[in-house]
Chain A
Amino acid sequence: NAGVMQNPRHLVRRRGQEARLRCSPMKGHSHVYWYRQLPEEGLKFMVYLQKENIIDESGMPKERFSAEFPKEGPSILRIQQVVRGDSAAYFCASSPFWTSGNTDTQYFGPGTRLTVL
Chain B
Amino acid sequence: KNEVEQSPQNLTAQEGEFITINCSYSVGISALHWLQQHPGGGIVSLFMLSSGKKKHGRLIATINIQEKHSSLHITASHPRDSAVYICAVNTDKLIFGTGTRLQVFP
Chain A nearest CB from B99 CB (Å) reads 6
Using CB atoms, name the residue of chain B closest to A56. Answer: B93
The answer, among A44, A106, A110, A111, for a CB contact under 8 Å with B45, is: A106
Q: Which residues of B contact A106 (CB under 8 A)?
A: 33, 45, 94
Q: Do residues A102 and B45 form an inter-chain contact, with CB atoms below 8 A?
A: no
Q: Does B19 contact A (CB under 8 A)?
A: no
Number of A interface residues at 8 Å Cβ cutoff, please give it. 24
Q: Do residues B93 and A58 form an inter-chain contact, with CB atoms below 8 A?
A: yes
Q: Do residues A43 and B93 form an inter-chain contact, with CB atoms below 8 A?
A: no
Q: Which residues of A contact B41 (CB under 8 A)?
A: 89, 110-111, 113
Q: Do residues A105 and B45 form an inter-chain contact, with CB atoms below 8 A?
A: yes
**What are the interface flags for A82-94 relative to B under an 8 Å C-beta threshold, 1 for contact and 0 otherwise?**
0000000101000
Q: Which residues of B contact A48 (CB under 8 A)?
A: 93
Within 8 A of B (CB), among A25-47: 33, 35, 41-45
Q: Which residues of B contact A42 (CB under 8 A)?
A: 86, 96-99
A-B contact count (CB 8 A): 60
Q: Do residues B96 and A110 form an inter-chain contact, with CB atoms below 8 A?
A: no
Could you say which of B35, B90, B94 has the most chain A C-beta atoms within 10 Å of its C-beta?
Answer: B94
Query: Chain B's interface: helix, strand, loop or mixed, by majority?
Result: strand
Using CB atoms, name the residue of chain B closest to A89. Answer: B41
Chain A nearest CB from B31 CB (Å) reads 5
Using CB atoms, name the residue of chain A closest to B99. Answer: A42
Within 8 A of A (CB), among B26-43: 30-31, 33, 35, 40-43
Using CB atoms, name the residue of chain B closest to A33. Answer: B94
Q: Which residues of B contact A113 (CB under 8 A)?
A: 41
Q: Does A59 contact B (CB under 8 A)?
A: yes
Q: Does A103 contact B (CB under 8 A)?
A: yes
Interface residues of B (CB under 8 A from A): 30-31, 33, 35, 40-45, 48, 50, 86, 88, 90-99
Provide a sorted-by-A list of 6 A–B residue pairs whose CB atoms are within 8 angstroms: A42-B96, A42-B97, A58-B93, A102-B30, A102-B92, A103-B90
Interface residues of A (CB under 8 A from B): 33, 35, 41-45, 48, 56, 58-59, 89, 91, 100-103, 105-108, 110-111, 113
